[in-house]
Structure 1
Amino acid sequence: LNYPHNHMTLLYLIVCAICLLSGTGYLETRTKNGTTGCASTNNRPVTILLWHWPFGKAYPLDGDVCWHLYKIPGCNVVDHRSEFLNADIVVFHQKELASKKQKLPLNLTRPLGQRWLWMSLESPQNHGNVRQFANVFNLTMSYRRDADITVPYGELQPQDGEIDDVVTNKTSLVCWVVSNFNRRHKRSVIYRQLSAFVKITVYGRWKKAHLPAAKLLSTISRCYFYLAFENSVFKDYITEKLWRNAYLGGAIPVVLGPPPEDYKAVAPPHSFIHVNDFASMKDLGTYLQGLAADAMRYKEFFRWRREWKVKLSTDWRERLCKICTKYHCLPQRKVYTDLHAWSNV
């Protein structure tokens, strides 16, 4: 009766042995939700060298940061370039490379086995010249689901606390917070078309209606719907406009960005409305008005909150520490021969 269990145990031991004998030093497992996890057979700490801090803002790295803050063991994150020869992975943030505030240390000889990681959470339109980095980088860190290290703007975690009431006290039908308005952007075109059929309350520098950060979520909470419109449309580019502004603000997001399939892959089911699903903005406006008038249907868009909560990713140290959780499953000899082609979709 225990044959299947014993069989799987034997198979697991065989895989362990193969990993050890082949020298890979890790086991790759898949969790219940499909994400990949790694179990190292090597206890040697991993050293991650950050060559320059993103946007010039440094965070303290005193002590065992990854363990104390995130319970990630064996992960040594440093920002002293003197550690170059000891680093397993060296991380470079694209923004500073694009602006030429920083440059790659191509004059240095890489230690055997050291890998260079290209990091960016910007949309491709802000990457600058990436073609120059052909055959330079071994790994990528991005919001993209197919990056070597995926660091989304937000993600779902199991609900473990009280659920706030977010469906009452609504006073505005549709809200939008926008500071950088470019009339040629797709989101601006959609806004103008939709505003012909429904009233949209706009906050931000564009309308000279400043909204302090401390009042952002409480203001959005009074809106039935929030326009989570990305400023550019690229694969998997889903930012805090969805995760923080809409979900944490307690409004149903009306999204404009990558295709609906990209949203469905990461967002809770039946929790957003995608612009692409409507033949016209008139149809979308009619749908929003009808949904706001139907309390039962409106509440259904928040059912997901019973099981899930949103976790935002804002600390660069957490992103850097995450490298160590994937380190032993990362490809050993990978090189991005055309980083531009990979990143510009």
Structure 2
Amino acid sequence: MKLRKASMWLAPALLSLTLSTCMALLYFLNLPKLTGNSHGWHRNISILLWHWPFNRPYPLEGDVCLDMYSIPRCLLTDNRSRFDQADAVVFHYKELQTAQEKLPLHLRRPPAQKWVWLSLESPAVIKNIRAYNHLFNWTMTYRQDADIFMPYGRMIPQRTNESFLVPKNRSCLASWVVSKYNSHHNRSHVFLQLRKHISVEVYGSSNRRPLAKEQLLPTIARCHFYLAFENAISKDYITEKLWRNAFQAGTVPVVLGPPRSNYEAFVPRDSFIHVNDFNSTKELASFLKRLATDTAQYELYFKWHKEHAIHVYTDWRERLCHICKRYNELPSFKVYHDLEGWAWQ
């Protein structure tokens, strides 16, 4: 009798449990596709670019992040009608500053949606962003303390046993490519002083000697040294002048920018020459002339080629895809209440 009563009580409970289990399975089956990794479970992430930087669009057909950069579960779009479905919306600083674009403050912003402030500019040119305080959740810049760190370039482990051959018979000592020459910049002052002691071949629109894209690296490669002078001195502000113009051309960079210790956070200390290592431009010039004639010492600046290669970020799609790599690691409730203060650090 007791067994019969127990069975009568247990049957509905099992039925209820089975129904609950089925409901749970149906719930999870109808969720967006979940995939596990070392950071936990996450779903497809949708990134909306509100406007293309400098109004230069790229095609977004297919699974760009996966097909081109092996970054899965990352969907890129520039279709503003998908605003409500976007996990993150990216706004490039330049177009906001010049009033070519405006923030979509008139739209109802989904509670979980993140707004990303994107800029590769130095603090010297960042202005009028106080109005954007309390709006942005994440920053995406070349700075290491940005939420999405996106440098101009980086060294990556070399995957080949081929050794780099230092070009012989260089036909010039040093070169400099400058598109926006400003006599008030520190780099202009250093260049003018340096030119008193050595010959520097100068190219760019500023002196009416422009170089076509395909001519840039071969022209620089003719010289022993390249003046990788930044137009502003700021933390982590190390641009394509080092990564592309010098390293990819196969010449030794003479850098002017943040302190040597900052450069060494990105590249080997013996891969470049820093202006600050010398007491005067005359001393620097003497060093460059002497080094150019000492083949053994000169070639030491290329040791890094044995273990590393250079990757330069030029495609905005690649930068955007990297947001997905960081998405699940970033704080969900972060807001920049003083974006201007952060940007000017």
TM-score calculated relative to the size of structure 1: 0.86
Distance (Å, rounded) in 2 between the aligned partners of 1:239 and 1:275: 16
Alignment-derived partner of residue 125 in structure 2:
126
Distance (Å, rounded) in 1 between the aligned partners of 2:171 and 2:309: 25
Distance (Å, rounded) in 2 between the aligned partners of 1:105 and 1:247: 41
**Residue type at the aligned position of 2:106:** N
Q: In the alignment, is the contact (CA less than 8 A) between 1:26 and 1:329 conserved in 2?
A: no
**Residue type at the aligned position of 2:184:** R
Counterparts of 1:50-65 in structure 2 under 5 Å? 50-65=49-64
Alignment-derived partner of residue 286 in structure 2:
286
Distance (Å, rounded) in 2 between the aligned partners of 1:41 and 1:238: 34
Give 5+ residue unaligned stretches, structure 1.
Answer: 1-24, 28-37
Distance (Å, rounded) in 2 between the aligned partners of 1:92 and 1:210: 31
Counterparts of 1:141-290 in structure 2 under 5 Å? 141-161=140-160, 162-290=162-290
**Residue type at the aligned position of 2:200:** I
Alignment-derived partner of residue 332 in structure 1:
332
Distance (Å, rounded) in 1 between the aligned partners of 2:91 and 2:269: 35
Q: In the alignment, is the contact (CA less than 8 A) between 1:227 and 1:255 conserved in 2?
A: yes
Q: Pick closer, same or farther for the CA change 1:175–1:293 going to 2, 3 Å.
A: same
> More displaced, 119-128 or 274-283?
119-128
Alignment-derived partner of residue 89 in structure 2:
90
State the shift of 1:136 in Å. 0.9
Give 5+ residue unaligned stretches, structure 2.
Answer: 1-33
Over the residues paired in the alignment, what is the CA RMSD in angstroms? 1.7
Structure 1 stretches (4+) deviating beyond 4 angstroms?
Answer: none
**Residue type at the aligned position of 2:245:** N
For residue 265 of structure 2, give the secondary structure of its aligned residue in structure 1: helix
State the shift of 1:131 in Å. 1.4
**Residue type at the aligned position of 1:221:** A
Write out per-residue CA displacement over residues 15-36 of structure 1, whole angstroms, 9 at most, x where no aligned residue: xxxxxxxxxx999xxxxxxxxx
For residue 311 of structure 1, give the secondary structure of its aligned residue in structure 2: strand
Write out per-residue CA displacement over residues 292-340 of structure 1, whole angstroms, 9 at most, x where no aligned residue: 1111110000000010000110111111111111111011111111111
Aligned residue pairs total 311
Alignment-derived partner of residue 32 in structure 1:
none
Write out per-residue CA displacement over residues 177-231 of structure 1, whole angstroms, 9 at most, x where no aligned residue: 1132111110000001111111111122233223222111111111111100011
Q: In the alignment, is the contact (CA less than 8 A) between 2:53 and 2:95 conserved in 1?
A: yes
Q: In the alignment, is the contact (CA less than 8 A) between 1:167 and 1:299 conserved in 2?
A: no
Distance (Å, rounded) in 1 between the aligned partners of 2:300 and 2:124: 36
Q: In the alignment, is the contact (CA less than 8 A) between 1:39 and 1:328 conserved in 2?
A: no
State the shift of 1:128 in Å. 2.7
Q: Which is greater in Rg?
A: 2
Write out per-residue CA displacement over residues 144-175 of structure 1, whole angstroms, 9 at most, x where no aligned residue: 11111111111111112334423412111111
Distance (Å, rounded) in 2 between the aligned partners of 1:318 and 1:154: 12
**Residue type at the aligned position of 1:84:** F
For residue 41 of structure 2, give the secondary structure of its aligned residue in structure 1: coil
Alignment-derived partner of residue 320 in structure 2:
320
State the identity as a percent. Answer: 50
Alignment-derived partner of residue 304 in structure 1:
304
Distance (Å, rounded) in 2 between the aligned partners of 1:209 and 1:110: 49
**Residue type at the aligned position of 2:166:** V
Distance (Å, rounded) in 1 between the aligned partners of 2:115 and 2:61: 23
For residue 140 of structure 2, give the secondary structure of its aligned residue in structure 1: strand
> More displaced, 200-209 or 245-254?
200-209
Distance (Å, rounded) in 2 between the aligned partners of 1:206 and 1:77: 37
Distance (Å, rounded) in 2 between the aligned partners of 1:134 and 1:200: 45
Q: In the alignment, is the contact (CA less than 8 A) between 2:166 and 2:299 conserved in 1?
A: no
> More displaced, 164-173 or 262-271?
164-173
> More displaced, 302-311 or 230-239?
230-239
Distance (Å, rounded) in 2 between the aligned partners of 1:71 and 1:212: 31
> More displaced, 201-210 or 262-271?
201-210
State the shift of 1:269 in Å. 3.1
Distance (Å, rounded) in 2 between the aligned partners of 1:304 and 1:164: 9
> More displaced, 132-141 or 165-174?
165-174
Alignment-derived partner of residue 39 in structure 1:
38
